[in-house]
Amino acid sequence: MSGTLVLVRHGQSEWNLKNLFTGWRDPDLTELGVTEAKAGGKALAEYGIKFDIAFTSVLIRAQRTCQMVLDAVGQSSLETIFDQALNERDYGDLSGLNKDDARAKWGEEQVHIWRRSYDVPPPGGESLRDTGARVWPYYLTEILPRVLAGEKVLVAAHGNSLRSLVMVLDRLTKEQVLNLNLATGVPMVYKLKADSTVASKEVLGDMSAAH
């Protein structure tokens, strides 16, 4: 048996609450987001895991979630690596727009395609495939080797950067990943085999709360 990989999507952000496209913009967590992040940390503390290293993005909502998880498991000063490879999908020209306003400007169908297709990016932004194209190499070179060495690794990131990872770990097709929604603050615990495939997966919380 190899190591353990834990993925946590950040808690609700201020722009999630306002129904805005966020992407690489940097709003903070809401009070609910803080509660969600702490709940995820509590679930991991009860699970009994201790981490060897943590990875997160360069955006504050993921960084604060990461820190609250580490606080909850009693590892507040654990080495944490920040990298924009783990950033949320870049929504380009949609960033900062209200989703209803975007629908009014470009049409319901076009906005739906940008949001939910696999390989059609919004103007100036990234598709899910584009997001994966930066997440996957980073995972393979920086994160996976630590897990395969037997370490317990925390990754606190974003809905789409984590969907890219889950797509590979769970062997989802590009059609299946479009229907994947990750709950905020809910840890997913993967145990990996020596060949990097998944030996087991546990979700520590209520996935029905997925936004």
Active site residues: 10, 88
DSSP tally for the chain: helices H, then strands E? 8, 6
Distance (Å, whole) CA 100 – CA 161: 24
Distance (Å, whole) CA 14 – CA 23: 13
Residue 163: both structure tokens together: 């969907």
Which amino acid, one-letter code, is at 33? G
Residue 82: name the closest of 42, 53, 50 by CA.
53
Instruction: Judge contact between 194 and 13, C-beta under 8 A.
Output: no
Query: Beta-carbon neighbour count of residue 202 at 10 Å?
Result: 11
Residue 4: name the closest of 199, 203, 165, 156 by CA.
199
